[in-house]
Chains A and B, each alone.
Chain A
Amino acid sequence: MIPQGQERALIAEIQKGLPLVSHPYAAIADRIGMSESQVIQKVNDLQDGGAIKRMGVVVRHHELGYRSNAMVVWDAPDAQIKELGSCFSQFEFITLCYQRPRRLPQWRYNLFCMIHGQDRESVLDNLQQMSQACDVEALPHEVLFSCRRFKQRGALYVYDADSKQSQQSKEPIEL
């Protein structure tokens, strides 16, 4: 789905974040020529339809003391992948869990999870707890800790012609 017109303008606004003012939806409505109630209804529809996963405070893990993050990748049998994905997703320290394609021969892994923790040990402890609970200790896997964050911001699905967003975070940030 490629949104057009007002829907596109609305998505551009809410992906940037709501303004911190008393009537944030009215402020957005003014900018894009909709009414406040139309904006609220449209956001509601996007949420009900599943395009919006959640609406709320979006935190930055690193700045809150969660300095360590690992992408853990498994080579899961195709027949088991759904069950394993659901099992991993029960753990609250998991922030993402996706199936992705293998790219043989250089990449054999098809199940990806992100684990955030305050340090490397707590990430590994969490991984061990999860691996035991979901019985995947014997599955081939790798743990890819992050070393440096070069860039982080919310996804932009639509762009303003003169978007300045790309100017952010050009400098690498040491993790």
Chain B
Amino acid sequence: MQKESSNTIKKPLSDLQKKLLNDFQHGLPLTPTPYLDIAKELGVTEDEVLNALTELQESKMVSRVGAVFRPNRIGVSTLAAMSVPSERINEVAAIVNAYPQVNHNYEREHVFNMWFVITASDNDQLDSVLKDMELKTGLSPMSLPMVEDYHIDLGFPLQWGEESA
């Protein structure tokens, strides 16, 4: 099992990496050379930007540089919850994670203790994933599709304490 220590920060973040993490979560330049444009803005070279981002991706602090899609505009998605007996939690997590349509899956402190997001190209595919899960686990997922999104996503402000610096 992968422990959290394997993902922790191995060397301190550079000032450039901190700026890239905090100031470029939105508004990536839509130009032929976005990394060069960022470099010019920060007064560094394009290679420095590319190397810093590559390192952040390799250390898993950055999942990708790219688009965050609004739910239910392209394809459909839902948040599903299951109430899983504690002795079955790893077995059921493995079944749920095996679907390529599942992108987040968390254990949470509640009677409904497993929460996961399913994305699919249409409602038929979404329903068939939910039905198939029920068949394979013997547990019934409660589906809670988004009705309204109130959040304007500009990314998440990071604070550099001693722990993460």
Contacts and interface: CB of A to CB of B under 8 A. Distances in A.
A46 interface: yes
Given A56-B155, A57-B20, A101-B145, A17 B65 contact: yes
A33 interface: no
Nearest to A111: B150
A152 interface: yes
A52 B21 contact: no
Contacts, number: 291
A7 to B, nearest CB: 9
Given A155-B119, A170-B94, A56 B106 contact: no
B136 interface: no
Given A51-B69, A60-B63, A154-B64, A21 B26 contact: no
B144 A59 contact: no
A60 B61 contact: yes
Contacts of A175: 4
Contacts of A24: 34-35
Given A21-B50, A50-B73, A99-B148, A16 B66 contact: yes
Nearest to A50: B70
Interface in B84-110: 90, 93-94, 96-110
A170 B90 CA distance: 10
Contacts of B103: 151-156
Interface of A: 1-3, 11, 14-18, 20-26, 36, 40, 43-44, 46-47, 49-67, 69, 71, 81-82, 85-86, 88-89, 92, 94-101, 103, 106-107, 110, 112, 116, 118, 142, 144-159, 163, 165-166, 169-175
Given A23-B32, A65-B161, 7 more contacts: A20-B35, A53-B70, A59-B25, A71-B108, A86-B150, A145-B108, A147-B106
